[in-house]
Amino acid sequence: MSILFECEYQGLRYAGLGKPVPGEAMTLYRVAEGRLREVLLAGGGPQAVAAAVAEGAKALTVTAGDPQVRLLPPLLPAGGGDALLTGFMGTHRSKYADDPDPRAEFRPPNWLIKGFGSWVRMPDEPLAAAASTVALLEEPEVALVYVNGEDGTPHYAGYTFANDLNDIGYHLQNPWGWTPYSKLCETSMTPWLFLDAPPRTVTGRITIERDGAVAWKGPFSCGADALYHRVEDLVDHLFSYPVMRRPGLVSYVLLGADKASYHDGFRIADGDRVTIDVSSHGVVLSNRIEYTGRAGAA
């Protein structure tokens, strides 16, 4: 399984292969902004993107964890304005009373826009929630990555993992109207792009720390096998809308999450650290929660 990542180092953009080990040497390749997206759109598929990283590129070696290395969301365009973070709700089998019927007409679940790609936060960066938050919920999810060609055709690039932090307490006060507000929390994402088909099974553990001590922990599972809907149906429906086929757009598509700490009676507090250990894929996503902002503006 190939893994690709991009970063900024001393003001320049680089790419790398594999998942670096903290404290050990890693090789970065000088790749022009947009080059990897161009290779993907040329039709070679995700593996061609991996091959293009080292082709004729100037390489340098740095230490993984070097503070001058700033990791980036997968294939994020410069500025982030041509990238969109969206997601589905209520996709997991555990939230339905029946089993899916493959012969039944596809009925899409609720969908929402989280924000621009520039809003995505990386591991160890704080996640902001409104000062008026009622009750937060962490949501470990698979994030699919797509790049649109010049004709608007979406090209699948691979997948990564995200924490779709949201104010479930506010959502539950008015599920039919206030869901978009509840989703106005920052989302974190791992920078590692897995150049493979969407995963069938993803497992791991969530740990929430308060004042340096474990306050709550529990397992999670996601991936295609945990969904009530077929991934192909979800994506096909989403990209049937012309506005989602804007040429050059990068889409991060969140596939939804199962129940987690809120449903166990736990309440996330300002300053808590939420760590999502995706043990099945060897990656960790950890962020401190910050209640910030003000109640409103005149």
Convert the pLDDT of each residue in 282-296 to its tens digit: 999 999 999 987 655
Query: Are residues 47 and 174 located together in one domain of the fold?
Result: no
In a domain, 298, yes or no: no
Mean pLDDT over the full length of the chain:
93
User: What three-state secondary structure class fits 86?
Assistant: strand
Query: Are residues 132 and 274 located together in one domain of the fold?
Result: yes
Flag whether pLDDT at 80 surpasses 80. no
In a domain, 297, yes or no: no
Query: Are residues 25 and 12 located together in one domain of the fold?
Result: yes
Convert the pLDDT of each residue in 91-115 to its tens digit: 989 888 788 878 888 889 999 999 9
> What is the average per-residue pLDDT within 205-217?
98
Spatial distance between the Cα atoms of 114 and 204, rounded to a whole number of angstroms? 24
- Name the amino acid, one letter, at 124: D
Query: Are residues 123 and 170 located together in one domain of the fold?
Result: yes
Query: Are residues 31 and 171 located together in one domain of the fold?
Result: no
> What value, to the nearest 5°, has the Cα angle with vertex 106 and ends 105 and 111?
155
Q: Tell me which residue has tokens 């902004």.
A: 33
pLDDT band, very low/low/confident/very high, at 176 (cuts 50, 70, 90)? confident
In a domain, 149, yes or no: yes
Number of domains present in the structure of the chain? 2
In a domain, 168, yes or no: yes
What is the token pair recorded at 201? 């099974």
In a domain, 277, yes or no: yes
> What is the average per-residue pLDDT within 188-210?
97
Of 70, 92, 109, which residue sits at a domain end?
70
Query: Are residues 44 and 86 located together in one domain of the fold?
Result: no
3-state secondary structure 183-204: CCCCCEECCCEECCCCCCCEEE
Q: What is the pLDDT of residue 295?
A: 56
Higher pLDDT, 99 or 123: 123
Q: Tell me which residue has tokens 């507090």.
A: 269
> Model-level pTM?
0.95
User: What three-state secondary structure class fits 264?
Assistant: helix
Query: Are residues 45 and 109 located together in one domain of the fold?
Result: no
Query: Are residues 58 and 77 located together in one domain of the fold?
Result: no
Of 70, 105, 123, which residue sits at a domain end?
70
pLDDT band, very low/low/confident/very high, at 145 (cuts 50, 70, 90)? very high
Convert the pLDDT of each residue in 10-67 to its tens digit: 999 999 999 999 999 999 999 988 999 999 898 877 888 888 888 878 899 999 999 9
- Domain range for 26: 3-70
Q: Give the domain CATH number at 285.
A: 3.90.850.10
Q: What is the pLDDT of residue 296?
A: 57
Query: Are residues 54 and 142 located together in one domain of the fold?
Result: no
In a domain, 158, yes or no: yes
